[in-house]
Amino acid sequence: MVLSAAQGGGEELGSSLMDRFLNALHYPVARAYTHYYAGFEDEIARLLRMIVRECKPDWLVVDLGCGRASFVTPWRQFCRRLIGIDSSPGIRDGAWVGFKVRGDLYQLPLPGNSVDMVIMRYVLEHLEHPLEALRETARVLRPGGKLVLLTPNRRHYVCLVARMTPHRFHRWFSARYGRFDDDVSPTRYRANTPHRLRELASGAGFRITELELYEAPPGYLDLFWPAYMLGVAYERLVNRFEALAGLRVSILATLQKTS
């Protein structure tokens, strides 16, 4: 019993030391974020600004693959109704959408030409057949309707690492940031360059009216401050020079149904 207690105490001490070590590494990250990114608009804020700018108060909007998504701005401030569609059971916990539907993105439970705007936030990179999903999205949009999306650029270092690591690593990594298993789908990146997105959009009956590439703060590196500072340097470099835009992490785009 004495030996068991001593072993238990040793494990607790080791865990405590590890926690203190990780906290010591994270503390400079918090200071760096405050210094470099006070007032900085991240990619989610830019997406929301794009949605609000494009949307009209009487529009019906659908958020595809919404999961447990939440935003600061309530949907009632910019549209008539927001419907969330997701195959994951986690949709029932989503506070962002007004009406929740379990459904397949390849066979949407909506009539044709019935929706004014569709949102895809971090969905396109997970699709095995993005062209079919875009065509289904075009089917439910009215003529002239908008698709607003945010997706990673496969040429970014985060995507390169993601493509080289197994899905179980993605689940473990996401769990450290409070994400749930059913929110973490395999990534395929089959539509994730500006050139490829333009090809697929054209094939699905869309034209791209706005597209920007944007580098956000290096949140994926915030567990280790030296790596985080390298990420800060990378962000400053690629955001400053347009010639390096193709290496930025986020693709934000607005697509319009052509007919």
pLDDT score for 2? 38
76-105 mean pLDDT: 85
Write the pLDDT tens digit of every residue in 130-150. 999 999 999 999 999 999 999
The mean pLDDT of the chain is 85
In the chain the domains, ranked by start, together with CATH numbers, are 17-257 (3.40.50.150)
Write the pLDDT tens digit of every residue in 204-244. 999 999 999 999 999 888 878 888 999 999 999 999 999 99
- Sheet arrangement for strand 81-86: 99-102, 81-86, 60-64, 115-121, 141-152, 250-257, 206-214
Residue 62: pLDDT band with limits 50, 70, 90: very high
pLDDT score for 183? 52
pLDDT of residue 41 exceeding 70, the answer is yes
CA-only gyration radius of the chain, Å:
21
Entry pTM: 0.82
Write the pLDDT tens digit of every residue in 158-215. 888 877 766 665 565 555 555 555 555 788 999 999 999 999 999 999 999 999 999 9
User: DSSP string of 114-143?
Assistant: -EEEEEEES-GGG-SSHHHHHHHHHHHEEE
